[in-house]
């Protein structure tokens, strides 16, 4: 469930992120010639021997507007509205576009729409020694604002170094191309082939636009996020699988323990006895021999069931098992062989010693307080095994000895060797 929510969240983050990167995560810088950072200046060809005249028009607080009287005195007459960066040059590599709402009017030589040139002037100590406007490398794009829908969006990569400037400023090959890292002046100028007369250039709005995070980088980040999440999921999943495995192993061990124990008497069952013997032989080897096997069978147990009921019979079996278990050393094994029959396995015990133990147990049974005031006795058969190979035979002999005890009148111990 949590996983589904996380997946839904991840998909949401991806879509919102892509949309935000496209529409909201943009960097903008208004070029308005206002404030302490931008300084507005008008330049015309009077500095180059011409007589063209530029002046600011329009209301204060309104759009930047320049009126220019072009007079064909200087060879390349022009007027230019410059926005100078007063507090440090602009690194335009952080932007991708310049967006312009521009208006231009005036006579043209070809009767077409009035043209404007947009300049990005870059400072570089290699060629900007005097730091005058003409020493800044101009990179330009020219177009007729009236001939296209507004705003006009120019990619910064469209700007090329002005050829007229390159001719008078020979540069090493490494510097001949556009440079956008230290833009000091952004300007709007009349076209290079301008007709004499009155011209107006109005900048209703201008802004530099860039991405906070480049779309390629952002998408790469999203791919990284998905990969990271997937990796996290795989780690989490493999841990969960290991946890489940651990739990199921401990559950099956618990079940195995249950399967090896007799449910009624809580001592080992036949399978449990055989596993315990295997373990004993594997860990102790021949050290467990001589080993004695004792078969114990409750006497007249059917009568107990018949006279007092099955429940009392069960209680007798439980008490018999507990009494045997409680009166034997830890190393000795007690198991229910079936019905009212039990087996005792005594490592490092010769038959004579086992007979003595069985006798002692027989006396304990005689003094035990049985349910329903019963007196419960048992018949005992003892046999000795001297090696692993002799174990099965010893079991058979002990069983037979126990039957001999039954036939001899019950409530007694008989050794196979007797
Ligand atoms: N209450 C109870 N009775 C059981 C259980 N398992 C076996 N019995 C009963 O134990 C009785 C064993 O009877 P027999 O094999 O005739 O042996 P016995 O009556 O003890 O006679 P001897 O062994 O010859 O002394 C049967 O009646 C079985 O039903 C058990 O788990 N609970």
305 lines ligand 1 (CB under 6 A): yes
Q: Which of 191, 110, 79 minimizes the C-alpha distance to 144?
A: 191
Give nearest CA residue, ligand 1 atom 6. 339
How far, in Å, from the CA of 340 to the mean position of ligand 1?
A: 6
Task: Give the pTM.
Answer: 0.53
β-sheet bridge partners, residue 186? 83, 120
Confidence at residue 264, expressed as pLDDT on a 0 to 100 scale: 96
Residue 406 CB less than 6 A away from ligand 1: yes
**Per-residue pLDDT tens digits for 333-387:** 999 999 999 999 999 999 999 999 999 999 999 999 999 999 999 999 999 999 9
Q: Which atom of ligand 1 is nearest to the CA of 314?
A: 1
User: What is the torsional sign of CA 165, 171, 176, 180?
Assistant: negative
CA atoms of 143 and 191, how far apart (whole Å): 9
* Ligand 1 midpoint to CA 413 (Å): 20
Atom of ligand 1 nearest to the CA of 302: 19
pLDDT value for 130: 67
Q: Which atom of ligand 1 is nearest to the CA of 298?
A: 20
**Of residues 155, 81, 89, the one with CA closest to residue 116:** 81
ipTM summary value:
0.97
d(CA 115, CA 193): 9
Q: What whole-number percentage of the chain has pLDDT above 70?
A: 99
Task: Indicate if ligand 1 lies below 6 Å from the C-beta of 317.
Answer: yes
Residue 247 confidence (pLDDT): 86
Tens of pLDDT along 88-135? Answer: 899 999 999 999 999 999 999 888 899 999 999 999 999 997 667 889
pLDDT under 70 in the chain at which residues? 130-131, 252, 256
pLDDT reported for residue 241: 87
pLDDT at residue 213, rounded to an integer: 86
How much distance in Å is there from the Cα of 259 to the middle of ligand 1?
23
3-state secondary structure the chain: CHHHHHHHHHHHHHHHHHHHHHHCCEEEEECCCCCCCEEEEEEEHHHHCCCCEEEEECCCCCCEEEEEEECCCCCCCCEEEEEEECCCCECHHHCCEEEEEEEEECCECCCCCCCEEEEEEECCCCCCCCCCHHHCEEEEEEECHHHCCCCEEEEHHHCEECHHHHHHCCCCHHHCCCCCCCEEEEEEEECCCECCEEEEEEEEEEEEEEECCCHHHHHHHHHHHHHHHHHHHHHHHHHHHHHHHHHHHHHHHHHHHHHCECCCCCCECHHHHHHHHHHHHHHHHHHHCCEEEEEEEECCHHHHHHHHCHHHHHHHHHHHHHHHHHCCCCCCEEEEEECCEEEEEECCCCHHHHHHHHHHHHHHHHCCCCHHHCCCCEEEEEEEECCHHHHHHHHHHHHHHHHHHHHCCCCCEEECCC
- As a whole number of angstroms, the longest Cα–Cα distance in the chain is 150
Query: How far is the first Cα of the chain from the last one, in angstroms, to the nearest whole number?
Result: 73
- Domains, the chain, in order of start with CATH, read 26-211 (2.60.120.430), 270-415 (3.30.70.270)
CA 358 / ligand 1 centre spacing (Å): 21
Kindly state if the Cβ of 264 falls inside 6 Å of ligand 1.
yes
* Ligand 1 neighbour 262 (Cβ under 6 A): no
378-385 and 333-338 as β-strands: parallel, antiparallel, unpaired? unpaired
């Amino acid at each position: 469930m949590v996983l589904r929510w996380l997946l839904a969240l991840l998909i949401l983050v991806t879509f919102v992120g892509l949309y935000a990167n496209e529409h909201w995560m943009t960097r903008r810088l208004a070029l308005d010639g206002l404030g302490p950072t931008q300084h507005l200046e008008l330049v015309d060809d009077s500095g180059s021997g011409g007589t063209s005249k530029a002046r600011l028009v329009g209301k204060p607080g309104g759009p930047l507007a320049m009126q220019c009287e072009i007079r064909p005195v200087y060879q390349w007459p022009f007027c230019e509205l410059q926005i100078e960066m007063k507090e440090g040059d602009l690194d335009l590599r952080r932007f991708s576009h310049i967006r312009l709402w521009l208006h231009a009017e005036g006579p043209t030589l070809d009767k077409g729409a009035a043209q404007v040139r947009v300049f990005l002037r870059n400072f570089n100590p290699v060629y900007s020694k005097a730091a005058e406007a003409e020493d800044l490398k101009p990179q330009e794009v020219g177009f007729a604002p009236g001939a296209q829908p507004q705003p006009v969006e120019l990619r910064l990569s469209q700007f090329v170094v002005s050829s007229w400037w390159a001719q008078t400023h020979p540069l090493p090959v490494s510097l001949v191309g556009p440079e956008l890292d230290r833009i000091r002046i952004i300007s709007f100028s009349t076209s290079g082939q301008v007709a004499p007369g009155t011209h107006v250039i109005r900048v209703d709005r201008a802004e530099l636009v860039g991405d906070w995070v480049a779309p390629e980088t952002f998408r790469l980040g999203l791919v990284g996020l998905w990969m990271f999440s997937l990796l996290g999921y795989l780690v989490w999943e493999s841990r969960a699988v290991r946890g489940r495995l651990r739990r199921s192993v401990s559950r099956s061990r618990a079940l195995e323990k249950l399967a090896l124990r007799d449910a009624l008497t809580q001592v080992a069952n036949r399978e449990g006895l055989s596993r315990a013997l295997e373990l004993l032989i594997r860990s102790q080897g021949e050290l467990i021999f001589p080993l004695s096997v004792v078969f114990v069978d409750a006497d007249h147990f059917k009568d107990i069931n018949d006279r007092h009921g099955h429940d009392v019979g069960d209680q007798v079996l439980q008490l018999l098992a507990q009494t045997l278990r409680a009166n034997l050393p830890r190393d000795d094994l007690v198991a229910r062989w079936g019905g009212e029959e039990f087996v005792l396995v005594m490592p490092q015990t010769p038959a004579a010693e086992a007979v003595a133990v069985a006798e002692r147990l027989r006396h304990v049974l005689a003094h035990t307080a049985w349910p329903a005031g019963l007196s419960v006795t048992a018949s005992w058969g003892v046999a000795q095994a001297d090696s692993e190979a002799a174990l099965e035979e010893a079991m058979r002999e002990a069983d037979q000895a126990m039957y001999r005890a039954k036939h001899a009148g019950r409530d007694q111990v008989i050794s196979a060797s007797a």
